[in-house]
Amino acid sequence: MRFSGLTARHGPLTTGQANMVRCMLTDPPEHMNYRVVRAVQPGTTLAVLTEAVLRLVTRHESLRTTFHDGLQRVLAAGEVTVEVHDTGASPAGPEDAGTRESDLAEEVARRLQGTRFALGTEIPLRVAVITSGGVPRQVVLVTTHSAMDAAGLAVLLTEWDELLLGKPLAPVTAPQPLDVVAAERTPAGLRRAESALRHWERHLRTVPRSTLTVPVDGETDWLLPRLRVRSVPAAGALGRISARTGASPSAAVLAALAVLAGVRARQRTVVVLSISANRFRPELREYVGPLAQDALIPVDTGADGFDAVLRGARSATMTAYQNSRFDADALIRIMEDVQRERGLFFARDIVFNDMSVPGRGPRAVRAGEDVHSVWLPPAVLPTRTSLWVHRTHGELDVTLWADPRCLPRDDALALGEGIARLLIEAGDRDVPRAELTALTGVVPVPRDDGWLPVDGCWVHLPEVGRLTADALARLTGGDGTAPAAETAVVAEADERLGHRLVCFTTAATTPAALHSACLGLLPGRMSAMTPHHYVVCAAAPAPGAPWQDLPRVTEGSGR
Protein backbone atom coordinates (compact mmCIF):
# COMPACT_ATOMS: atom_id res chain seq x y z
CA MET A 1 0.00 0.00 0.00
CA ARG A 2 1.60 3.26 -1.15
CA PHE A 3 1.36 6.84 0.00
CA SER A 4 2.55 9.69 -2.21
CA GLY A 5 2.15 13.35 -3.04
CA LEU A 6 3.17 14.59 0.42
CA THR A 7 5.85 17.07 1.45
CA ALA A 8 9.38 15.79 1.99
CA ARG A 9 11.25 17.43 4.87
CA HIS A 10 14.52 16.86 6.68
CA GLY A 11 16.44 18.31 9.59
CA PRO A 12 17.95 17.58 13.02
CA LEU A 13 16.33 15.36 15.63
CA THR A 14 14.28 16.62 18.54
CA THR A 15 15.72 15.90 21.97
CA GLY A 16 13.04 13.27 22.46
CA GLN A 17 13.79 11.59 19.14
CA ALA A 18 17.55 11.57 19.78
CA ASN A 19 17.02 10.01 23.19
CA MET A 20 14.73 7.30 21.85
CA VAL A 21 16.82 6.50 18.76
CA ARG A 22 19.77 5.80 21.05
CA CYS A 23 17.68 3.56 23.28
CA MET A 24 16.25 1.70 20.29
CA LEU A 25 19.73 0.64 19.23
CA THR A 26 20.49 -0.94 22.61
CA ASP A 27 17.32 -1.78 24.55
CA PRO A 28 15.19 -4.86 23.85
CA PRO A 29 12.69 -4.28 21.01
CA GLU A 30 9.95 -5.75 23.21
CA HIS A 31 10.42 -2.70 25.42
CA MET A 32 10.98 -0.06 22.75
CA ASN A 33 8.12 -1.06 20.43
CA TYR A 34 4.45 -0.53 21.22
CA ARG A 35 1.92 -3.15 20.23
CA VAL A 36 -1.84 -2.63 20.15
CA VAL A 37 -4.51 -5.18 19.24
CA ARG A 38 -7.95 -3.80 18.37
CA ALA A 39 -11.14 -5.71 17.64
CA VAL A 40 -12.80 -4.82 14.34
CA GLN A 41 -16.48 -3.89 14.30
CA PRO A 42 -18.65 -6.19 12.15
CA GLY A 43 -18.98 -4.91 8.61
CA THR A 44 -15.55 -3.26 8.55
CA THR A 45 -13.78 -4.15 5.32
CA LEU A 46 -10.09 -4.51 4.61
CA ALA A 47 -10.35 -1.43 2.37
CA VAL A 48 -11.67 0.64 5.29
CA LEU A 49 -8.78 -0.53 7.49
CA THR A 50 -6.11 0.26 4.92
CA GLU A 51 -7.64 3.67 4.24
CA ALA A 52 -7.52 4.44 7.98
CA VAL A 53 -3.84 3.49 8.05
CA LEU A 54 -3.12 5.80 5.12
CA ARG A 55 -4.97 8.67 6.80
CA LEU A 56 -2.82 8.36 9.92
CA VAL A 57 0.42 8.14 7.94
CA THR A 58 -0.44 11.24 5.92
CA ARG A 59 -1.55 13.23 9.01
CA HIS A 60 1.49 12.56 11.17
CA GLU A 61 5.00 13.07 9.86
CA SER A 62 6.41 10.96 12.70
CA LEU A 63 4.86 7.88 11.03
CA ARG A 64 6.82 8.42 7.80
CA THR A 65 10.14 9.51 9.28
CA THR A 66 13.44 7.67 8.96
CA PHE A 67 16.68 8.46 10.83
CA HIS A 68 20.17 8.89 9.39
CA ASP A 69 23.23 9.83 11.50
CA GLY A 70 21.55 12.52 13.57
CA LEU A 71 19.12 13.67 10.87
CA GLN A 72 15.48 12.85 10.26
CA ARG A 73 13.88 12.55 6.84
CA VAL A 74 10.14 12.85 6.37
CA LEU A 75 9.14 10.84 3.31
CA ALA A 76 6.89 12.31 0.64
CA ALA A 77 6.14 8.84 -0.73
CA GLY A 78 6.62 5.30 0.41
CA GLU A 79 4.98 2.03 1.31
CA VAL A 80 3.07 0.67 4.29
CA THR A 81 2.86 -3.10 4.43
CA VAL A 82 -0.39 -4.51 5.81
CA GLU A 83 -0.08 -8.20 6.61
CA VAL A 84 -3.23 -10.30 6.39
CA HIS A 85 -3.49 -13.53 8.38
CA ASP A 86 -6.55 -15.77 8.21
CA THR A 87 -7.52 -18.24 10.91
CA GLY A 88 -9.02 -20.57 8.34
CA ALA A 89 -12.35 -20.54 10.15
CA SER A 90 -15.67 -19.14 9.04
CA PRO A 91 -16.77 -15.98 10.90
CA ALA A 92 -20.01 -17.75 11.77
CA GLY A 93 -18.23 -21.01 12.52
CA PRO A 94 -17.25 -22.78 15.76
CA GLU A 95 -17.60 -21.11 19.14
CA ASP A 96 -13.84 -21.17 19.60
CA ALA A 97 -13.29 -18.99 16.52
CA GLY A 98 -12.91 -15.91 18.70
CA THR A 99 -10.20 -17.62 20.74
CA ARG A 100 -8.37 -18.65 17.57
CA GLU A 101 -8.52 -15.06 16.30
CA SER A 102 -7.20 -13.67 19.58
CA ASP A 103 -4.42 -16.25 19.77
CA LEU A 104 -3.34 -15.53 16.20
CA ALA A 105 -3.48 -11.77 16.80
CA GLU A 106 -1.31 -12.14 19.91
CA GLU A 107 1.19 -14.33 18.05
CA VAL A 108 1.48 -11.82 15.20
CA ALA A 109 1.70 -8.88 17.61
CA ARG A 110 4.55 -10.50 19.55
CA ARG A 111 6.47 -11.16 16.35
CA LEU A 112 6.05 -7.63 15.01
CA GLN A 113 6.88 -6.08 18.38
CA GLY A 114 9.90 -8.31 18.96
CA THR A 115 11.66 -7.26 15.73
CA ARG A 116 13.76 -4.10 15.74
CA PHE A 117 12.74 -1.36 13.36
CA ALA A 118 15.30 -0.53 10.68
CA LEU A 119 15.52 3.15 11.54
CA GLY A 120 17.13 4.22 8.27
CA THR A 121 14.88 2.37 5.85
CA GLU A 122 11.61 1.42 7.57
CA ILE A 123 8.77 3.73 8.50
CA PRO A 124 7.83 3.26 12.18
CA LEU A 125 4.49 1.54 11.66
CA ARG A 126 3.64 -2.12 11.17
CA VAL A 127 0.09 -3.30 10.56
CA ALA A 128 -1.52 -6.72 10.43
CA VAL A 129 -5.15 -7.70 9.99
CA ILE A 130 -6.51 -10.97 11.39
CA THR A 131 -9.36 -12.39 9.33
CA SER A 132 -11.69 -15.37 9.59
CA GLY A 133 -12.90 -16.63 6.25
CA GLY A 134 -11.58 -13.44 4.71
CA VAL A 135 -13.57 -11.19 7.07
CA PRO A 136 -11.48 -8.74 9.21
CA ARG A 137 -11.80 -9.52 12.92
CA GLN A 138 -8.82 -7.91 14.64
CA VAL A 139 -6.08 -5.45 13.71
CA VAL A 140 -2.54 -5.28 15.07
CA LEU A 141 -0.72 -1.95 15.18
CA VAL A 142 2.96 -1.80 16.13
CA THR A 143 4.95 1.43 16.35
CA THR A 144 7.96 2.53 18.32
CA HIS A 145 9.36 5.07 20.78
CA SER A 146 11.23 7.00 18.08
CA ALA A 147 7.84 7.89 16.57
CA MET A 148 5.88 8.66 19.72
CA ASP A 149 5.62 8.27 23.47
CA ALA A 150 2.66 6.80 25.35
CA ALA A 151 0.74 10.10 25.25
CA GLY A 152 1.30 10.40 21.50
CA LEU A 153 0.15 6.81 21.06
CA ALA A 154 -3.06 7.63 22.93
CA VAL A 155 -3.72 10.48 20.47
CA LEU A 156 -3.09 8.14 17.53
CA LEU A 157 -5.41 5.43 18.86
CA THR A 158 -8.19 7.94 19.49
CA GLU A 159 -7.95 9.00 15.87
CA TRP A 160 -7.91 5.37 14.73
CA ASP A 161 -11.11 4.61 16.61
CA GLU A 162 -12.80 7.70 15.19
CA LEU A 163 -11.79 6.80 11.64
CA LEU A 164 -13.27 3.32 11.96
CA LEU A 165 -16.49 4.84 13.29
CA GLY A 166 -16.64 7.08 10.23
CA LYS A 167 -16.15 10.29 12.19
CA PRO A 168 -14.35 13.20 10.50
CA LEU A 169 -11.01 14.10 12.05
CA ALA A 170 -10.26 17.67 13.01
CA PRO A 171 -7.27 19.25 11.23
CA VAL A 172 -3.90 18.67 12.91
CA THR A 173 -3.01 21.70 15.01
CA ALA A 174 -0.18 20.17 17.04
CA PRO A 175 3.34 20.69 15.71
CA GLN A 176 5.16 18.02 13.74
CA PRO A 177 8.57 16.83 15.01
CA LEU A 178 10.56 19.23 12.79
CA ASP A 179 8.46 22.10 14.16
CA VAL A 180 9.39 20.98 17.68
CA VAL A 181 13.06 21.05 16.64
CA ALA A 182 12.69 24.70 15.65
CA ALA A 183 11.10 25.55 19.02
CA GLU A 184 13.82 23.71 20.94
CA ARG A 185 16.49 25.72 19.16
CA THR A 186 15.10 29.14 19.99
CA PRO A 187 16.99 31.08 22.69
CA ALA A 188 14.25 30.24 25.22
CA GLY A 189 14.32 26.56 24.26
CA LEU A 190 18.10 26.40 24.59
CA ARG A 191 17.95 28.07 28.01
CA ARG A 192 15.44 25.50 29.24
CA ALA A 193 17.61 22.63 28.02
CA GLU A 194 20.72 24.11 29.66
CA SER A 195 18.81 24.56 32.92
CA ALA A 196 17.77 20.90 32.78
CA LEU A 197 21.38 19.78 32.36
CA ARG A 198 22.45 21.91 35.33
CA HIS A 199 19.70 20.31 37.43
CA TRP A 200 20.90 16.82 36.53
CA GLU A 201 24.59 17.59 37.05
CA ARG A 202 24.01 19.23 40.42
CA HIS A 203 22.20 16.18 41.75
CA LEU A 204 24.35 13.55 40.04
CA ARG A 205 27.34 14.94 41.92
CA THR A 206 25.71 14.40 45.33
CA VAL A 207 22.90 11.82 45.33
CA PRO A 208 23.38 8.10 46.04
CA ARG A 209 24.05 6.20 42.84
CA SER A 210 21.60 3.48 43.81
CA THR A 211 18.90 2.60 46.32
CA LEU A 212 18.47 -1.15 45.74
CA THR A 213 22.14 -1.64 46.57
CA VAL A 214 22.86 -5.35 46.79
CA PRO A 215 25.89 -7.40 45.69
CA VAL A 216 24.63 -8.12 42.17
CA ASP A 217 26.98 -8.24 39.21
CA GLY A 218 26.22 -8.18 35.51
CA GLU A 219 23.13 -7.43 33.50
CA THR A 220 19.86 -9.29 33.70
CA ASP A 221 17.85 -10.35 30.67
CA TRP A 222 15.27 -7.78 31.85
CA LEU A 223 12.45 -10.34 31.90
CA LEU A 224 10.99 -9.16 35.20
CA PRO A 225 8.23 -10.49 37.44
CA ARG A 226 5.29 -8.08 37.75
CA LEU A 227 3.01 -7.59 40.75
CA ARG A 228 -0.34 -5.90 40.17
CA VAL A 229 -1.78 -4.22 43.27
CA ARG A 230 -5.31 -2.80 43.46
CA SER A 231 -7.13 -1.04 46.26
CA VAL A 232 -10.35 0.97 46.38
CA PRO A 233 -9.69 2.27 49.94
CA ALA A 234 -6.26 3.54 48.86
CA ALA A 235 -7.85 5.61 46.09
CA GLY A 236 -10.26 7.15 48.60
CA ALA A 237 -7.36 7.89 50.92
CA LEU A 238 -5.49 9.68 48.15
CA GLY A 239 -8.27 12.26 47.98
CA ARG A 240 -7.99 12.94 51.71
CA ILE A 241 -4.19 13.08 51.54
CA SER A 242 -4.38 15.63 48.74
CA ALA A 243 -6.86 17.76 50.71
CA ARG A 244 -4.60 17.72 53.77
CA THR A 245 -1.21 18.27 52.08
CA GLY A 246 -1.99 19.94 48.75
CA ALA A 247 -0.04 17.22 46.93
CA SER A 248 -1.44 15.40 43.92
CA PRO A 249 -2.35 11.69 44.08
CA SER A 250 0.59 10.98 41.77
CA ALA A 251 3.02 12.70 44.13
CA ALA A 252 1.57 10.77 47.07
CA VAL A 253 2.10 7.41 45.36
CA LEU A 254 5.64 8.42 44.39
CA ALA A 255 6.39 9.50 47.96
CA ALA A 256 5.05 6.21 49.33
CA LEU A 257 7.31 4.28 46.94
CA ALA A 258 10.32 6.40 47.90
CA VAL A 259 9.86 6.28 51.66
CA LEU A 260 9.39 2.50 51.72
CA ALA A 261 12.39 2.00 49.42
CA GLY A 262 14.34 4.18 51.85
CA VAL A 263 13.25 2.02 54.77
CA ARG A 264 14.38 -1.11 52.97
CA ALA A 265 17.71 0.40 51.91
CA ARG A 266 18.43 2.15 55.25
CA GLN A 267 18.95 5.23 53.10
CA ARG A 268 17.69 8.76 53.62
CA THR A 269 17.91 10.13 50.07
CA VAL A 270 16.10 8.01 47.51
CA VAL A 271 16.48 8.89 43.83
CA VAL A 272 13.38 8.24 41.74
CA LEU A 273 13.46 8.60 37.97
CA SER A 274 9.97 9.57 36.92
CA ILE A 275 8.97 9.49 33.27
CA SER A 276 7.78 12.98 32.41
CA ALA A 277 5.34 13.42 29.52
CA ASN A 278 6.68 16.96 28.95
CA ARG A 279 3.31 18.11 27.58
CA PHE A 280 2.91 21.13 29.82
CA ARG A 281 2.34 23.52 26.91
CA PRO A 282 -1.19 23.38 25.39
CA GLU A 283 0.05 23.12 21.81
CA LEU A 284 1.89 19.90 22.68
CA ARG A 285 -1.08 18.04 24.20
CA GLU A 286 -2.02 16.39 20.87
CA TYR A 287 1.54 16.02 19.58
CA VAL A 288 2.23 12.63 17.98
CA GLY A 289 5.93 12.30 18.65
CA PRO A 290 8.33 11.44 21.49
CA LEU A 291 8.51 14.01 24.27
CA ALA A 292 8.81 11.84 27.40
CA GLN A 293 12.17 11.83 29.17
CA ASP A 294 13.36 11.02 32.67
CA ALA A 295 12.91 13.48 35.51
CA LEU A 296 15.49 13.06 38.28
CA ILE A 297 13.76 13.36 41.66
CA PRO A 298 15.83 13.15 44.87
CA VAL A 299 13.39 12.44 47.70
CA ASP A 300 14.44 13.13 51.31
CA THR A 301 12.76 10.32 53.24
CA GLY A 302 14.31 11.10 56.60
CA ALA A 303 11.45 13.13 58.09
CA ASP A 304 9.59 11.67 61.07
CA GLY A 305 6.20 11.75 59.34
CA PHE A 306 4.89 10.83 55.89
CA ASP A 307 3.30 14.26 55.35
CA ALA A 308 6.70 15.98 55.51
CA VAL A 309 8.20 13.45 53.11
CA LEU A 310 5.28 14.02 50.73
CA ARG A 311 5.61 17.80 50.81
CA GLY A 312 9.32 17.50 50.04
CA ALA A 313 8.63 15.00 47.28
CA ARG A 314 6.02 17.31 45.79
CA SER A 315 8.48 20.20 45.63
CA ALA A 316 11.28 18.02 44.24
CA THR A 317 8.92 16.53 41.66
CA MET A 318 7.75 19.90 40.36
CA THR A 319 11.36 21.07 39.96
CA ALA A 320 12.40 17.82 38.29
CA TYR A 321 9.54 17.88 35.78
CA GLN A 322 10.50 21.43 34.79
CA ASN A 323 13.98 20.10 34.02
CA SER A 324 13.12 16.96 32.09
CA ARG A 325 13.72 18.04 28.47
CA PHE A 326 17.39 17.92 27.66
CA ASP A 327 20.00 16.95 25.11
CA ALA A 328 20.60 13.28 25.92
CA ASP A 329 24.08 13.31 24.33
CA ALA A 330 25.10 16.20 26.58
CA LEU A 331 23.64 14.44 29.61
CA ILE A 332 25.59 11.26 28.83
CA ARG A 333 28.79 13.32 28.70
CA ILE A 334 27.96 14.82 32.09
CA MET A 335 27.24 11.35 33.49
CA GLU A 336 30.57 10.07 32.20
CA ASP A 337 32.44 13.01 33.76
CA VAL A 338 30.69 12.56 37.11
CA GLN A 339 31.20 8.81 36.94
CA ARG A 340 34.94 9.25 36.52
CA GLU A 341 35.19 11.89 39.25
CA ARG A 342 33.02 10.13 41.85
CA GLY A 343 34.05 6.63 40.82
CA LEU A 344 30.53 5.29 40.64
CA PHE A 345 27.98 4.24 38.05
CA PHE A 346 24.54 5.86 38.34
CA ALA A 347 21.88 3.14 38.39
CA ARG A 348 18.39 3.63 36.99
CA ASP A 349 17.03 1.33 39.65
CA ILE A 350 13.76 3.00 40.77
CA VAL A 351 11.52 4.25 37.96
CA PHE A 352 8.06 5.79 38.40
CA ASN A 353 5.66 5.90 35.47
CA ASP A 354 2.28 7.52 36.09
CA MET A 355 -0.02 6.60 33.21
CA SER A 356 -3.28 7.28 35.07
CA VAL A 357 -6.03 9.41 33.60
CA PRO A 358 -8.04 11.51 36.10
CA GLY A 359 -11.73 10.76 36.19
CA ARG A 360 -11.62 7.04 35.48
CA GLY A 361 -14.16 5.23 37.60
CA PRO A 362 -13.56 2.25 39.89
CA ARG A 363 -13.22 -1.32 38.79
CA ALA A 364 -14.59 -4.27 40.71
CA VAL A 365 -12.16 -5.79 43.20
CA ARG A 366 -12.49 -8.85 45.36
CA ALA A 367 -15.08 -8.19 48.06
CA GLY A 368 -13.80 -7.66 51.58
CA GLU A 369 -10.21 -6.88 50.63
CA ASP A 370 -8.57 -3.52 51.29
CA VAL A 371 -5.59 -4.52 49.15
CA HIS A 372 -5.59 -7.17 46.44
CA SER A 373 -2.46 -8.30 44.56
CA VAL A 374 -1.70 -10.85 41.87
CA TRP A 375 1.47 -11.87 40.05
CA LEU A 376 1.37 -11.26 36.31
CA PRO A 377 3.48 -13.08 33.69
CA PRO A 378 7.04 -11.70 33.47
CA ALA A 379 7.68 -9.04 30.84
CA VAL A 380 10.69 -7.16 29.47
CA LEU A 381 11.68 -3.84 31.05
CA PRO A 382 15.29 -2.56 31.29
CA THR A 383 15.31 -1.34 34.89
CA ARG A 384 15.75 -2.80 38.35
CA THR A 385 12.41 -1.69 39.74
CA SER A 386 9.56 0.29 38.22
CA LEU A 387 6.12 1.25 39.50
CA TRP A 388 3.50 1.85 36.81
CA VAL A 389 0.43 3.72 37.98
CA HIS A 390 -2.64 2.83 35.93
CA ARG A 391 -5.28 4.68 37.94
CA THR A 392 -5.64 6.63 41.16
CA HIS A 393 -9.31 7.68 41.04
CA GLY A 394 -11.98 5.23 42.22
CA GLU A 395 -9.35 2.54 42.59
CA LEU A 396 -5.60 2.57 43.05
CA ASP A 397 -4.24 0.24 40.35
CA VAL A 398 -0.46 -0.14 40.04
CA THR A 399 2.02 -2.67 38.69
CA LEU A 400 5.41 -3.18 40.34
CA TRP A 401 8.17 -4.58 38.13
CA ALA A 402 11.04 -5.98 40.20
CA ASP A 403 14.34 -7.69 39.40
CA PRO A 404 14.28 -10.62 41.87
CA ARG A 405 18.04 -10.38 42.36
CA CYS A 406 17.53 -6.93 43.91
CA LEU A 407 14.01 -7.35 45.24
CA PRO A 408 13.01 -11.01 45.81
CA ARG A 409 9.33 -11.87 45.42
CA ASP A 410 8.47 -11.70 49.12
CA ASP A 411 10.11 -8.29 49.39
CA ALA A 412 8.46 -7.08 46.19
CA LEU A 413 5.10 -8.22 47.57
CA ALA A 414 5.71 -6.31 50.80
CA LEU A 415 6.73 -3.17 48.87
CA GLY A 416 3.87 -3.30 46.37
CA GLU A 417 1.14 -3.97 48.90
CA GLY A 418 2.90 -1.73 51.42
CA ILE A 419 2.46 1.30 49.16
CA ALA A 420 -1.32 0.78 49.22
CA ARG A 421 -1.41 0.08 52.98
CA LEU A 422 0.65 3.19 53.74
CA LEU A 423 -1.66 5.35 51.63
CA ILE A 424 -4.78 3.91 53.29
CA GLU A 425 -3.39 4.76 56.72
CA ALA A 426 -2.11 8.16 55.58
CA GLY A 427 -5.62 9.04 54.48
CA ASP A 428 -6.55 9.51 58.14
CA ARG A 429 -3.32 10.66 59.81
CA ASP A 430 0.30 11.61 59.39
CA VAL A 431 2.01 8.20 59.63
CA PRO A 432 5.25 8.24 61.67
CA ARG A 433 8.30 6.74 60.01
CA ALA A 434 8.83 4.49 63.02
CA GLU A 435 5.58 2.65 62.22
CA LEU A 436 6.29 1.92 58.55
CA THR A 437 7.80 -1.55 58.95
CA ALA A 438 5.00 -2.78 61.22
CA LEU A 439 2.36 -1.27 58.95
CA THR A 440 3.72 -2.50 55.61
CA GLY A 441 6.04 -5.42 56.27
CA VAL A 442 8.92 -3.67 54.49
CA VAL A 443 12.04 -4.49 56.54
CA PRO A 444 15.54 -3.02 56.25
CA VAL A 445 17.88 -5.14 54.17
CA PRO A 446 20.56 -6.83 56.32
CA ARG A 447 24.03 -5.30 56.07
CA ASP A 448 27.10 -6.91 57.62
CA ASP A 449 30.34 -5.21 58.63
CA GLY A 450 31.49 -5.20 55.02
CA TRP A 451 28.94 -2.50 54.15
CA LEU A 452 30.14 1.09 54.53
CA PRO A 453 28.62 4.52 53.82
CA VAL A 454 30.82 6.12 51.16
CA ASP A 455 29.99 9.42 49.45
CA GLY A 456 26.31 9.06 50.32
CA CYS A 457 26.14 5.48 48.98
CA TRP A 458 26.16 2.03 50.52
CA VAL A 459 29.30 0.21 49.39
CA HIS A 460 30.29 -3.41 50.02
CA LEU A 461 34.04 -3.43 50.64
CA PRO A 462 34.59 -7.04 49.46
CA GLU A 463 32.88 -6.14 46.17
CA VAL A 464 35.25 -3.18 45.74
CA GLY A 465 38.14 -5.60 46.30
CA ARG A 466 36.74 -7.92 43.66
CA LEU A 467 36.28 -5.01 41.25
CA THR A 468 39.92 -3.94 41.57
CA ALA A 469 41.15 -7.53 41.26
CA ASP A 470 39.12 -8.04 38.08
CA ALA A 471 40.36 -4.71 36.72
CA LEU A 472 43.99 -5.67 37.36
CA ALA A 473 43.45 -9.05 35.71
CA ARG A 474 42.11 -7.27 32.64
CA LEU A 475 45.03 -4.83 32.64
CA THR A 476 47.91 -7.22 33.19
CA GLY A 477 46.59 -10.31 31.42
CA GLY A 478 49.41 -12.49 32.60
CA ASP A 479 50.93 -15.62 31.02
CA GLY A 480 51.23 -17.60 34.25
CA THR A 481 55.02 -17.22 34.49
CA ALA A 482 55.14 -14.11 36.68
CA PRO A 483 53.93 -14.14 40.30
CA ALA A 484 50.43 -12.76 40.72
CA ALA A 485 50.17 -9.22 42.05
CA GLU A 486 48.84 -8.75 45.55
CA THR A 487 46.09 -6.19 46.10
CA ALA A 488 44.07 -4.85 49.02
CA VAL A 489 41.39 -2.19 49.41
CA VAL A 490 41.39 -0.29 52.69
CA ALA A 491 38.64 2.01 53.99
CA GLU A 492 39.87 5.09 55.82
CA ALA A 493 37.65 7.47 57.79
CA ASP A 494 36.97 10.68 55.89
CA GLU A 495 35.07 13.74 57.11
CA ARG A 496 33.53 14.52 53.72
CA LEU A 497 32.99 11.06 52.24
CA GLY A 498 32.34 9.07 55.40
CA HIS A 499 34.96 6.59 54.20
CA ARG A 500 37.75 6.96 51.66
CA LEU A 501 38.68 3.84 49.68
CA VAL A 502 42.36 3.24 49.00
CA CYS A 503 43.61 0.46 46.73
CA PHE A 504 47.14 -0.88 47.38
CA THR A 505 48.72 -3.15 44.76
CA THR A 506 52.04 -4.59 43.71
CA ALA A 507 50.95 -4.73 40.06
CA ALA A 508 53.00 -2.92 37.43
CA THR A 509 50.40 -0.32 36.53
CA THR A 510 49.50 3.33 37.03
CA PRO A 511 46.66 4.90 39.04
CA ALA A 512 45.11 6.31 35.87
CA ALA A 513 45.14 2.96 34.06
CA LEU A 514 43.74 1.10 37.07
CA HIS A 515 41.00 3.68 37.60
CA SER A 516 39.95 3.48 33.97
CA ALA A 517 39.86 -0.32 34.13
CA CYS A 518 37.71 -0.19 37.28
CA LEU A 519 35.32 2.24 35.63
CA GLY A 520 34.99 -0.04 32.64
CA LEU A 521 33.81 -2.89 34.87
CA LEU A 522 31.43 -0.83 37.05
CA PRO A 523 28.15 -1.14 35.09
CA GLY A 524 25.99 -3.80 36.69
CA ARG A 525 28.02 -3.92 39.94
CA MET A 526 25.48 -2.28 42.20
CA SER A 527 27.40 -2.53 45.47
CA ALA A 528 30.84 -1.48 44.26
CA MET A 529 32.58 1.83 43.71
CA THR A 530 36.05 2.57 42.40
CA PRO A 531 38.69 3.44 44.99
CA HIS A 532 39.36 7.12 45.56
CA HIS A 533 43.15 6.62 45.65
CA TYR A 534 45.56 4.06 44.20
CA VAL A 535 48.98 3.17 45.61
CA VAL A 536 51.51 0.99 43.77
CA CYS A 537 53.98 -0.67 46.14
CA ALA A 538 57.18 -2.54 45.37
CA ALA A 539 56.23 -5.48 47.58
CA ALA A 540 53.36 -6.67 49.75
CA PRO A 541 53.52 -6.30 53.53
CA ALA A 542 54.23 -9.17 55.88
CA PRO A 543 51.11 -11.03 57.06
CA GLY A 544 49.14 -8.80 59.43
CA ALA A 545 51.21 -5.71 58.68
CA PRO A 546 49.54 -2.59 57.23
CA TRP A 547 49.95 -1.63 53.59
CA GLN A 548 50.06 2.04 54.57
CA ASP A 549 53.58 1.74 55.99
CA LEU A 550 55.20 0.37 52.80
CA PRO A 551 57.39 2.41 50.45
CA ARG A 552 55.39 3.64 47.47
CA VAL A 553 56.41 3.42 43.83
CA THR A 554 53.63 5.72 42.64
CA GLU A 555 50.21 6.87 43.76
CA GLY A 556 47.32 9.04 42.69
CA SER A 557 43.58 9.31 42.29
CA GLY A 558 43.51 8.28 38.65
CA ARG A 559 40.72 10.78 38.07
| Residue 171 neighbours by CB distance under 10 Å | 6
pLDDT < 50: residue spans in the chain: 479-482
500, 532 Cβ separation under 8 angstroms: yes
CATH of 2-176, one of 3.40.50.300, 3.40.50.2000, 3.30.1490.20, 3.30.559.10: 3.30.559.10
pLDDT attached to residue 219? 60
Domain 186-211+222-440 architecture? 2-Layer Sandwich (3.30)
CA 495 to the chain's CA centroid? 34
Q: Three-state SS across 419-477?
A: HHHHHHHHCCCCCEHHHHHHHHCCCCCCCCCCEEEECCEEEEHHHHHHHHHHHHHHHHC
Helix (H, G, I), strand (E, B) or coil at 555: strand
- Extents of the domains making up the chain: 2-176, 186-211+222-440, 451-556
pLDDT attached to residue 96? 67
DSSP letter assigned to residue 298: E
Dmax over Cα atoms in the chain, in whole Å? 89
pLDDT attached to residue 491? 95
Please state the pTM of the whole predicted model.
0.91
Q: Is 455 exposed, middle or buried (0-12, 13-18, 19+ CB in 10 A)?
A: buried
Domain 451-556 superfamily per CATH = ANL, C-terminal domain (3.30.300.30)
CA distance 510 to 500: 19
pLDDT tens sequence across 379-407: 988 889 999 999 999 999 999 999 998 89
Q: Would the CATH topology of 2-176 be identical to that of 186-211+222-440?
A: yes
pLDDT tens sequence across 157-210: 999 999 999 999 999 999 999 999 999 999 999 999 999 999 999 999 999 999
DSSP letter assigned to residue 305: B
